[in-house]
Amino acid sequence: MSRESRIPTLVLGGTGYVAGELLRLIAAHPRLELAAAVSDSKPGERLAGAFPHLAPLYPETTFVAADEAERLIASQPVSAVLAAAPHGVSAALIDRLLAAAAAAGTRPRVVDISADYRYPDPDAYAAVYGQPHGAPARLRDFSCALPEHLATLATPHVAHPGCFATAMLLAIVPLLKLGLVEPAFYVSAVTGSTGSGRAPVDGTHHPRRHSDLYAYGALGHRHAPEVISITRGLTGRSAELNFVPHSGPFARGIHATTQARLVQPMSSGELRAALAAFYTGQPFVRVLADPPRLKDVVASNYAHLSATSNGSTVAVMSVIDNLTKGAAGGAVQWLNRMFGWEVSTGLTAPAPGWT
């Protein structure tokens, strides 16, 4: 395919882990081409300096400032924007770029991976993040869901759910939509250290995290109200979510166990069959007979689920890669849908396995 037929793509928040994963995926995508990686902290510096593993893909490419991104988006008739800027920064930056595009008559499509456009109500956002929304008038232009859960996109732009939220929604949405369970969920999930971002903090410091496992934010994590909000929008039902996240001694991946009370008795096989039928035609979600393992999905866009029942309670185990399916890969999957391409384009590489 010629370079002229590719969609110029901007990556915002260009030095974080998710941005690095976006850059890796864009390089392998047959319909996308990097137009700019935006970083106000490192303009003019080489991408390879921030991401040495990407040096073969971007040996001389440098980061640009937001002003250059504004010029680029106004100069391209059609473009894609993948926003991995920090929460609280992304909203205003996207608003600025969309205003420049509107003034120039160009048509970008945006997928925001921060939390800034996940809530339809600015007050709900402020209640969770403790600050006003940066561009409340833009919220009506964004939908928030996993690509597997929203058959028709009614807005020009998308907000991708968070990584923990992705792992939970994969289990909760079908259970509620199919009417299999009471609307009260109990989730225990373990995430790798990359989920905390690139800036070193005490909780992700290797000597502390290595060979250890501990809970944090128990029953008060910010992804819980996000999952409730998204679930309500998709199913029309309010649900209770009791979520306990854990820090795991590994870099990538999330393992989540979601439990709920069944409305009527079902066997483990019946539950797995119901989940498999729900995800029919969705190439990245696989329902297994055996409990899923992180190594089978890490560094890929695949999600593996399994379920078991004792007759009255269901436990759904889900595993994803937090940087790929839970962020960058899910965002590229949305772009594939938004531009009318096969949903799996550029995303079919399997997990490497023995990571």
Tell me, what amino acid is at 16? G
Q: Considering only CA atoms, which of 13, 6, 197 is closest in space to residue 94? A: 13
Does residue 163 have an active-site annotation? Answer: yes
DSSP string, 103-168: HHT-EEEEEE-SSTTS-SSHHHHHHHHSS--S-GGGGGGEEES-TTT-SS--SSEEEPPPHHHHHH
**C-alpha–C-alpha distance, residues 336 and 27, integer Å:** 15
Return the residue matching tokens 């007759």.
Answer: 311
Q: Which of 145, 163, 190, 298 is the catalytic position?
A: 163
303-309 and 313-320 strand pairing: antiparallel
Q: Which of 55, 199, 225, 196 is nearest to 125 (CA)?
A: 225
Pairwise CA distance, residues 15 & 45, whole Å: 11
Instruction: Assign 289 to helix, strand or coil.
Output: coil
To which residue do tokens 């509107």 refer?
102
**What distances in angstroms separate CA 15 from CA 7, 54, 141, 191, 258, one per listed residue?**
22, 12, 26, 21, 33
Amino acid letter at 69?
A
Q: Name the residues annotated as catalytic.
A: 163
